[in-house]
Structure formats: structure tokens, C-alpha cells
Amino acid sequence: MKPSVWPVSETFAAEIGDLDLSQPLSEADWQMVEEAFRTYAVLVFPDQRISQQQHVDLALRFGPIDGSMVVDMTDAKSRIRADIADVSNLDWNGEIYAEDDRLRLFGHANRLWHTDSSFKKVPAKASLLFIRKIPPVGGHTEFADMRAAWDALPQARQKEIDGLVAMHSIAYSRQKMGFEMTAEENEVLPPVPQTLVRRHADSGRTSIYVASHAGEIDGMSEADGKALLAELLAFGTQRQFVYSHRWRANDLVIWDNRCTLHRGTTFDDKRWRRDAQRATVMDVAPTCEQEGIDAAAE
Ligand code: OGA
Ligand code: MN
């Protein structure tokens, strides 16, 4: 059967029906997925039964895997293979995290608007989040279209911010949630420069690139930089730019981290299991390099 594309809105988010991702994709189906990804930036594939291997194989069609940081960061045993990020509320044993579990508290920052791995030199291109188990209430994921946000910015503001560089660090987003990284963890992941405005290589569209990982703007005072970042984050996540995904068990959602933001919404994570696993794909180069900005000084 030919897969169907059901757009949520004209240009943002689409559900792809009648495609079994446990099977290798034909060239025609892959082209359809690529085109939908380029156009809609967030794709929902309902009712999938995929193994971890099939999950990773699908991610590899988009590019090389961006390894899970939590696994890099801790000696904790993992429920799942190291090239898939465990974004569930479950410990290695499959039990709900204890209230004070460090990984639980670390994961709280996923509730802030962000784009994956923008705290790494080469951030994420795409994320493929597969949900095996959902809570009965809450735990949705919201996505914001940073291309539409850019298009809606007044031209004068576009001019002012184009070419600026923000510093991103995992420590910034964690601090906002009252979580302190250790000195060793910060040494592994120091702040990195990211361009504030990106041109999307595939679609030719322009987008704002911000995140709660961003803490400063190069060449601005800390106060001015933070004010600009807060303004852009608030502007870009207004309701008209947002698609809120209500998960069904076995949904796989793929999003484009180059031009969207996302955040998890709250649920009773001490009561319900939410089993979410993410394969993440690296972008091709640091964002400043892609934009032709010399951020070598950083
Ligand atoms: C992620 C993420 C939010 C959620 O997997 O990158 O931010 O709702 N997830 O699980
Ligand atoms: Mn994320």
C-alpha cells in the first residue's frame, strides 16, 4: 500500500500512515519520507513495532548516530543499547525512578523548550523518539516551528539578529531546573558556539536557532544576551507555531532539530511508566561553519 501523508497544518507536522518501519524502506518510500521531513519537519508514524536495531537502522538513513550523553556521563547501567537515549522515567531495572534519582532530576530539563544536542559542537540533525508505553494522563510532547517564527519576525529584527552567535551549554538548561552538573561533567561538555539564525540546507528556509541550552550571546553583555534569548524563545513558541503531540503507545515521531524546538509536558512520573527511547542523528558540521561564520575564537 502506498503510504499516506496527513499534514496537521499546511507546512508543519504530518502523520504518515500505512508505512511499516520494521521493514527496510523502498527507495520510493524513503524519498517520500525525506520530502515530508523537509516540508513538515515533524513526522508522526503511528502503530509501529520496531526493535532497537530497526530503530537505529532507520535513524542511520538520516545520518550518523549522535551517542547518548547520559550514558557517556554516568556509569549507570542502561536498559537499552548505548546508541539509543533512554528518555523514559525508568531505571536500568525497568522500575520507576526514585524521587531523588539523579537521572530523573536531570531529565526534568526536557520540559524546557530546546533542540537536541545544541550543547555539542555538532548538534543533532534529527531525533527519532519511539514510545513503547504512555501514561494515561499528560506526558505529551510539544513542537515549535522555528521557520514560521523566523518568517513572522519583523524584518528589522531579522536583520539585527542574523549573524549573531549564542553560547550553548547543558549546564545552562540544567541550572534553570535547579540541577547542578559536576565539575567533571562540565569539563566534558563546555559551552559551544551556535549561530542564532540558520538556513536549512534541504528546504532553503530560514529559522531561529535558540534553546534553553543557550545562555549568552557573543559580543553582548550577559544581561542583554539573556534578554534577547528569552525574547526569541517566547516569540518562537507562541501557540500559532506549536503542534502538541498526544502520544499513542507505539508512535514513532521524527523531528528536525535544525528548525524546530520541543519540550515534554508534565505527568505523574512517580506513578506511571513512560517508556520513551530516542535515536539521535548528528548534523553534518558545527552550525557556525554551516553559516560561514568564523567562531574559531571560541
Ligand atoms: C527528547 C525529549 C521530550 C519528551 O527525547 O529529546 O526532549 O516528551 N523528549 O519525552
Ligand atoms: Mn529533547
Percent of the chain with pLDDT over 90: 86
CATH label of the domain that carries residue 138:
3.60.130.10
In the chain, the amino acid numbered 168 is H
Is residue 168 within 6 Å of ligand 1 at its C-beta?
Answer: no
Q: What is the mean pLDDT of residues 263-271?
A: 98
Rounded to an integer, what distance in angstroms lies between the CA atom of residue 241 and that of residue 169? Answer: 25
Mean per-residue pLDDT of the chain: 94
Closest CA to 128 of 185, 52, 75, 191: 52
Q: What is the pLDDT of residue 260?
A: 98
Q: How far is the CA of 280 from the centre of ligand 2 (A)?
A: 10
What is the span of the domain harbouring residue 70?
Answer: 4-297
Q: What is the pLDDT of residue 76?
A: 66
Containing 245, the helix (H) or strand (E) segment is strand 242-245
Residue having the nearest C-alpha atom to atom 8 of ligand 1: 264
pLDDT in tens, 3-38: 899 999 999 999 999 999 999 999 999 999 999 999
Q: How far is the CA of 276 from the centre of ligand 2 (A)?
A: 11
Enter the DSSP assignment of 95. P
Residue having the nearest C-alpha atom to atom 10 of ligand 1: 264
Count of domains for the chain: 1
Question: Residue 177: is its pLDDT beyond 50?
Answer: yes
Decide: 32 and 4 in contact? Cβ < 8 Å: no
Rounded to an integer, what distance in angstroms lies between the CA atom of residue 230 and that of residue 115? Answer: 15
Q: What is the pLDDT of residue 68?
A: 72
Is residue 279 within 6 Å of ligand 1 at its C-beta?
Answer: no
Residues in the chain: 298
Q: How far is the CA of 138 from the centre of ligand 1 (A)?
A: 13
Lowest mean pLDDT among 41-45, 106-110, 161-165, 236-240: 106-110
Of residues 297 and 293, which shows the higher confidence score? 293
Q: What is the mean pLDDT of residues 198-222?
A: 96
In this prediction, residue 290 has a pLDDT band, given cuts at 50, 70 and 90, of: very high
